[in-house]
Homo-oligomer: A and B are copies of this chain.
Amino acid sequence: MSTQHALLISLIEKPSSGYDLARRFDRSIGYFWHATHQQIYRELGRMAEHGWIAAEETDQGGDANGNAAPNGEEKKNRKKVYHVLPAGRDELVRWVLEPGAGLDQREEILVKLRADAAIGPLGLADEMRRLIALHQARLETYQAIERRDFSDARQDRGQQLRFALLRRGIRFEQDWVAWGNELMPLLAMPAGDRQD
C-alpha cells in the first residue's frame, strides 16, 4: 500500500507524468522504494479515482503555440501531468503518522550464505564479488550526490533531513562493502572441489 505514498511525495516535490515519475524514481525515492512503470500507471489511476490526484492533459512538449495537429480530436500522444489534491496530501500525512512494520529485511545473499554454511563450500566467491561491486557502485553514486547537493554548511530542516537519509544510505553501503570484504576469505574454494 505504500507505493502510492511514495508517488504522492514525488508528485508534491514536482508534478509529473507517469513516464517522468518512472524515470525520476530510479534516481531519488527509488533508492529506497523501487517501482516499475506499470505499477506507477496503475497506482496513478487508482489515486485519481480516489480523488487524491488530478491530471491535466497537455499536448506533447515543445509545441507551445496552440496550432497543434491538424486532425484535432484524434491525438493520442497526450501527456498527463498529475498534481496532488488536498485529499492526497491528507492521505499522505495520515500514512506517515501511522505506525509501520519495521524490521523486514530480505536479502537473498544471506540465505545463500547460510546454505553455504550448511552444505558448502559451494563457490560463492564470484557472486559475492559481484554484489560487493554493486554496493560499491551505489556508494559512489551516493557520495557524488553528497558532494553535489550537500556541500553547504547552512541547510534548512528539509535539507538536513534529506541529508540524513543520504547518510543512512552511505553508511549502509560502506558497511556492506566492508563486511563483504571481510567475508571473502571464507568463500575461497579449495582447488579441484568444483561441483560441475
Residues of B within 8 A of A32 (CB): 105-107, 110-111
* In the complex, the 7 A-B pairs of residues with the closest C-beta atoms, listed nearest first: A117-B161, A32-B110, A100-B108, A117-B158, A96-B112, A102-B131, A9-B115
- The reply to whether A195 and B135 form a contact with Cβ atoms under 8 Å apart is no
Which residue in chain B gives the minimum CB-CB distance to A132? B102
- The reply to whether A110 and B158 form a contact with Cβ atoms under 8 Å apart is no
**Stretch of A52-60, A146-154, A179-187 at the chain-chain interface:** A179-187
Q: Which residues of A contact B (CB under 8 A)?
A: 2, 5-6, 8-9, 12-13, 29, 32-34, 89, 92-93, 95-97, 99-124, 127, 130-131, 134-135, 138, 157-162, 164-165, 167-168, 171-172, 175, 179, 182-183, 186, 195
Most buried by B among A6, A96, A99: A96
Contact of A9 among B104, B114, B131 (CB under 8 A): B114
Contact of A89 among B33, B119, B168 (CB under 8 A): B119
Q: Given contacts A5-B115, A162-B114, A179-B168, is CB(A93)–CB(B106) below 8 Å? A: no
| CA distance in complex: A162, B118 (Å) | 9
Known: A9-B115, A93-B122, A96-B112. 17 other contacts (CB 8 A): A2-B111, A8-B115, A29-B111, A29-B114, A32-B106, A34-B106, A92-B119, A93-B119, A97-B127, A100-B108, A100-B109, A102-B130, A113-B161, A117-B161, A117-B165, A120-B158, A164-B179
